[in-house]
Amino acid sequence: MPTERELAATIDHAILKPELTRADVDAELDIAAEWGVFSVCVRPSDIPHAVERLAGTGVAVGTVIGFPHGTTSTAAKVAETRQAIADGAAEVDMVVNIAALRSGFDDVVVADIRAVVDAADGHVTKVILETALLDDEQIERGSRLTEAGGAHFVKTSTGFAGGGATVPHVELMRRTVGADVQVKASGGVRSYADALAMIDAGATRLGTSGSAVILGEARRVDAGAGATGAVDDTSY
């Protein structure tokens, strides 16, 4: 069972809702710093501010590419990725071309992924499949194509498509990809129990806006008090 610190090292704290004001973003950045999560995942326009505010905290800044639908052109995703890296992003989470994946256009999907991986120039790249919109065959194939495209992670969800991570989907993704590709579970990870279930299923990174609740529960467990509570994590 992971300690609070070990669990914090798996969390990408999501700050992605379109309606968030600068004050809202700052409050979330401060939460991330307070709890010592691995990273924040912010809207692309928030990268420079997040990098500045989190300087010296040890919390990395990541962002999203082609978010949330994945239907922007490859050229647009490449430009967005290059700008994100130039602005200070350490990691990028790109949304797969969902329509191409569902259509069976595997060459298109791989080329799209590879272009973003190349544009990221060695920075960690995660590929969001949006599992709520896919059947098991498409999830398995999308995971294989993610690996073929050279990405570092295959990821379940944006949290904006009416569904999030499930244990069976995380297990399927973990079985499908090799040891060099990690799995990120995002969307619906609301509690300490949810986090443990995703890690047990094979996830090594968790996307959630409920970091304080999850890590607060972990702290109580570390102290022998047990875990209770959940958060409405509809944003990621």
Please list the active-site residues. 93, 155, 184
CA distance 99 to 73: 12
- Within 8 A by CB and 6+ apart from 56, the residues are none
Cα within 13 Å of Cα(215), Cβ side: 24
CA distance 33 to 81: 25
**Burial class of residue 123 in the structure, from the number of CB atoms within 10 Å of its CB (0-12 exposed, 13-18 middle, 19+ buried):** middle
What does each C-alpha distance from 169 to 48, 83, 116, 135, 161 come to in angstroms?
Answer: 34, 32, 24, 10, 15
CA distance 167 to 93: 20
8 A C-beta contact, residue 59 and residue 38: yes
CA distance 115 to 82: 11
